[in-house]
Structure 1
Amino acid sequence: MTTLRLSTVALMLAATAAPAFAQDADSCTTVRMSNPGWTDITATNGVAQTLLQALGYQAEISTLSVPVGYEALKNGQTDLFLGNWMPAQQKFRDDLDAAGGIEELVQNLEGAKFTLAVNKPGDEAGVSDFADLDARKGAFEGKIFGIEPGAPANQSIQAMIDADDFGLGDWTLVESGEQAMLAQVGRNASAGTPTVFLAWAPHPMNEAIDITYLSGGDEQFGPDYGGATVHTLARSEWVQNCPNAAKLFSQLVFDIPMENQLMGMILNDGTDPADAASAWLAQNPQVLDDWLAGVTTTQGDPAKEAVLAAIGG
Structure 2
Amino acid sequence: MKKILLMSLFVLMMTVVAACSSDKEDDKASSGTEQKTITFGVTPWTSTVPPTKIASLILQDMGYEVKETAADAGSVYMGLSRGDLDVFMDAWVPMHQTYLDKFEGKIESTAVSYPEADTGWTVPTYMEDVNSLEDLKGREGEFDNEFYGIEAGAGATIESDEIIEAYEFDFKQVSSSEGGMLAQAQRLMEQEKPVVFYGWRPHTMFNKFDLKVLTNEKGFFETSSVEVITNSELKDNAPEAYEFLSNWNISLDEVEEMIVKIEEGQEPEEVAQEWIDNNQDKVNEMIGK
Cα RMSD (Å) of the superposition?
A: 1.8
Aligned partners of 1:60 and 1:138: how far apart in 2? 46
- Indicate the residue corresponding to 1:8 in structure 2: none
Correspondent of 1:234 among 230, 235, 248: 230
Residues 20-61 of structure 1: CA distance to partner in whole angstroms, max 9, x if unpaired? xxxx844x2210110121111112101111212222222211
1:131 partner amino acid: E
Verify the 8 A CA contact 2:112 2:248 in the aligned structure 1.
no
2:178 partner amino acid: E
- Indicate the residue corresponding to 2:162 in structure 1: 159
Name segments (4+ residues, structure 1) moved above 6 Å: none
Aligned partners of 1:58 and 1:188: how far apart in 2? 44
Aligned partners of 1:39 and 1:57: how far apart in 2? 24
1:274 and 1:218, CA in 2 relative to 1: closer, same or farther beyond 3 A? farther
- Indicate the residue corresponding to 2:200 in structure 1: 200
1:271 partner amino acid: Q
Structure 1 residue 238: Cα displacement: 1.9
Correspondent of 1:75 among 61, 82, 103: 82
- The number of residue pairs the alignment matches comes to 258
Secondary structure of the 2:219 match is: helix
- Indicate the residue corresponding to 1:112 in structure 2: 117
1:137 partner amino acid: E
Q: Determine which structure has more spread, i.e. the larger CA radius of gyration.
A: 2
Aligned partners of 2:49 and 2:218: how far apart in 1? 28
Verify the 8 A CA contact 1:119 1:185 in the aligned structure 2.
no
Structure with more contact order per residue of length (Cα contacts < 8 Å, sep ≥ 6): 1
* Structure 1 gap ranges (5+): 1-23, 295-313
- Indicate the residue corresponding to 2:18 in structure 1: none
Verify the 8 A CA contact 2:80 2:106 in the aligned structure 1.
no
Verify the 8 A CA contact 2:114 2:252 in the aligned structure 1.
yes
Aligned partners of 2:233 and 2:161: how far apart in 1? 36
2:100 partner amino acid: R
1:253 and 1:127, CA in 2 relative to 1: closer, same or farther beyond 3 A? same
Aligned partners of 1:287 and 1:128: how far apart in 2? 39
Aligned partners of 1:283 and 1:238: how far apart in 2? 29
Aligned partners of 1:74 and 1:238: how far apart in 2? 11
Aligned partners of 1:63 and 1:93: how far apart in 2? 20
Secondary structure of the 1:234 match is: strand
Structure 1 residue 258: Cα displacement: 0.7
Secondary structure of the 1:220 match is: coil
- Indicate the residue corresponding to 1:136 in structure 2: 139
TM-score normalised by structure 2 residue count: 0.83
Q: Does 1:277 align with 2:272?
A: yes
Q: Does 1:31 align with 2:38?
A: yes
Residues 178-229 of structure 1: CA distance to partner in whole angstroms, max 9, x if unpaired? 12212222221111112111111111211111101111154222xxxx2010
1:239 partner amino acid: K
Structure 1 residue 286: Cα displacement: 3.3
Structure 1 residue 133: Cα displacement: 1.2
Segment of structure 1 superposing worse, 65-74 or 180-189: 180-189
1:117 partner amino acid: T
Residues 263-304 of structure 1: CA distance to partner in whole angstroms, max 9, x if unpaired? 1122x213332221112222333322322224xxxxxxxxxx
1:288 partner amino acid: V
Aligned partners of 1:202 and 1:272: how far apart in 2? 18
Verify the 8 A CA contact 1:47 1:273 in the aligned structure 2.
no
Residues 133-175 of structure 1: CA distance to partner in whole angstroms, max 9, x if unpaired? 1333232111111111111111111122234x0x41x211011
Aligned partners of 2:64 and 2:194: how far apart in 1? 47
Aligned partners of 2:285 and 2:207: how far apart in 1? 29
1:107 and 1:218, CA in 2 relative to 1: closer, same or farther beyond 3 A? farther
2:214 partner amino acid: L
- Indicate the residue corresponding to 1:310 in structure 2: none
Aligned partners of 1:217 and 1:37: how far apart in 2? 30
Secondary structure of the 2:103 match is: helix
Correspondent of 2:70 among 42, 63, 66: 63
Verify the 8 A CA contact 1:31 1:57 in the aligned structure 2.
yes
Aligned partners of 2:153 and 2:91: how far apart in 1? 15
1:50 partner amino acid: L
